[in-house]
Amino acid sequence: MNKKGITIEENTPELKKTALEWLDKNRRTLIKLSNKIWEYAEVGMQEEKSAKALHNWLRKNGFYIRTGISGMPTAFLAEFSRGSGSPVIGLLAEYDALPGNSNKKVPRHEPLKEGGPGHGCGHNLIGVGAAAAAVAIKKSIEKLKINATVRVYGTPGEELLVGKVFMARDGLFDDCDVILTSHPGDINAASAIPCYFFISTEFTFFGESCHLPSMPEIGRNALDAAQLAIISTNMRNKHMKKDTIIEYVIPDGGFQPNVVPDVSKVWFFVRHRELSGLKDAYKKVIESVRGAAISTGTTWQEKFITGCYGYLPNDRLAKLIYDNAMMIGPPTFTNKEKHFANEIRKNYGFTEANEPIHKEIDLLRGIMGTYSQDDGDASWINPLGKLKYAFPRDIPVHGWGFTALSGTSIGHKGMMFAAKTITATGIDILMRQDVLKEIKNEHKGRTKGFKYACLVPPNIKPITRDFMKYHVKTRW
């Protein structure tokens, strides 16, 4: 209770109003920052300009900055704390682009740079939306002079499912009371749905080069080994636990056909809805790799890249996010924006829709997402809430259309909707102790008997920018 006899809870609506007005006032600045990161379009672990743009802006707005977090040069922590510093709200900022997703801000496939990177998942919006919410929450803390901490986690390499995992392994989420994030998709919704556990690992086969027609007995074909590992894994997949997903690429298959490849690489993504299923599938991939090496007379080495937990939902936190999203209201779009959305849909082969962009707000529960995200580990450590905001229906993420939208007013409206919802939710966390207690009690119930252990072995370091430079060297 303050000097006027007004309870802290009674200040909540006024604080929300002040914070949301600040976001509206600074909308142009936020869009400009988002567009700058959209133009940088840096792939995972190479986001030097994008990370710097974000943490410099946060520093100017009163945040203490630490860079190079958890051995990742493009990771950062931005923090504002007052008094005892509790409760602690963590906000997740992403800013990496995708290789091969370059596109202009047009409703057709027209790359800015042929084969180049682009924000085909909207991370330019996610990063700026989180930073904007952090500053708005900070202003609320200062206005009421309450004890609290707001922290932005600058997390590189989300598309590689790297950044947040290594932060979690280093204990950087341990003192959070609540963690909040957002992501564009095809609907507006507070999300309380779990997703798949995940392992990313790469195998290098070593053989012996030769000229096949003249001296075949000398050669040991590393590319054959990589292909055989894939074939064997696909065969084993039929007898893995139900809902196992295996994905792969061959980043290195040799130079030219008349030089037998002495080195080849195969990169696997392994997913399952349960941790036991993931571990079973990973074991069988290893067996397939071992068998392929024996069959081809090659040797092999593994580079374990990352592994992460599936998202652990929190229904009470999702309901709080939903209530605030409903209070703010979903984005509305002009006829020009709807036309743009329909043009993109038509160029993906879909018919024109009267309402091409979802205009309701949903509360997602009771289903399973088949994707993986590197925030899963953090959600098992402390409660983590998610907001989705709508892009046009049927537009696939990780494609040219999503890149185009991430740089337009459609994407900007989603970003501002997310920033406002996260801000209002964060203020509730700070002001409504009863709600925070309910959220934390649910998390304790869901994790009873569980002790977090990172899937990445302690001797594994995060991949560097050189890893991605090598893997995309032929694309741009």
Give residue-wise pLDDT tens across range 303-353: 999 999 999 999 999 999 999 999 999 999 999 999 999 999 999 999 999
Q: Which of 99, 42, 97, 52 is nearest to 73 (CA)?
A: 52
What's the one-letter identity of residue 10? E
Average pLDDT over residues 228-246: 95
Where do the domains of the chain lie, and which CATH numbers do they carry? 8-195+311-446 (3.40.630.10), 197-309 (3.30.70.360)
The average pLDDT across 232-244 equals 94
pLDDT-based confidence at 123, cuts 50/70/90?
very high
pLDDT digits (tens, 9 = 90+) for 124-180: 999 999 999 999 999 999 998 999 999 999 999 999 999 999 999 999 999 999 999
* 7: pLDDT strictly greater than 50: no
Q: How confident is the model at residue 10 (pLDDT cuts 50, 70, 90)?
A: low
Q: State yes or no: pLDDT of 234 exceeds 90.
A: yes
CA atoms 149, 154, 159, 161: torsion sign? negative
pLDDT at residue 469 tops 80: no
Mean predicted lDDT score pLDDT of the chain:
94
On the question of pLDDT at 8 being above 70, the answer is: no
Whether the CB-CB separation of 162 and 241 falls below 8 Å is answered with no
pLDDT category of residue 474 using cuts at 50, 70 and 90: very low
pLDDT of residue 250: 95
DSSP conformation class of 230:
H
Q: Is the pLDDT of residue 475 over 50?
A: no
Q: Give the model confidence (pLDDT) of 179-210 as tens digits.
A: 999 999 999 999 999 999 999 999 999 999 99
Q: Give the separation between CA 141 and CA 135, rounded to whole angstroms.
A: 10
- Give long-range contacts, CB 8 A cutoff, 24+ apart: 323-328: 324/421, 324/424, 324/425, 324/428, 325/188, 325/190, 325/361, 325/387, 325/417, 325/421, 326/361, 327/16, 327/424, 328/20, 328/417, 328/420, 328/421, 328/424
Exposed, middle or buried: residue 65 (CB in 10 Å: 0-12, 13-18, 19+)? middle
Local confidence band at 476 (pLDDT 50, 70, 90 cut-offs)? very low
pLDDT in tens, 365-399: 988 999 999 999 999 999 999 999 999 999 999 99
Report the first-to-last Cα separation within the chain, whole angstroms: 60
Backbone phi and psi for residue 369, each to the nearest 5 degrees, phi listed first: -85, 135
Q: Is the pLDDT of residue 3 over 80?
A: no
Say whether pTM exceeds 0.85: yes
Reply yes or no on whether the pLDDT at 41 is more than 60.
yes
Q: What is the per-residue pLDDT across 419-467, written as a single tens digit (0 to 9) for each?
A: 999 999 999 999 999 999 999 999 999 999 999 999 999 999 999 888 8
Q: What residues contact residue 402 under an 8 Å CB cut-off, 6+ apart? A: 101, 119, 120, 121, 122, 184, 391, 395, 396
d(CA 309, CA 360): 30
User: How confident is the model at residue 78, as a pLDDT?
Assistant: 98
What average pLDDT does this structure show over 89-113?
97
Q: Single out the residue of 192, 114, 271, 220 nearest to residue 442, CA to CA.
A: 192
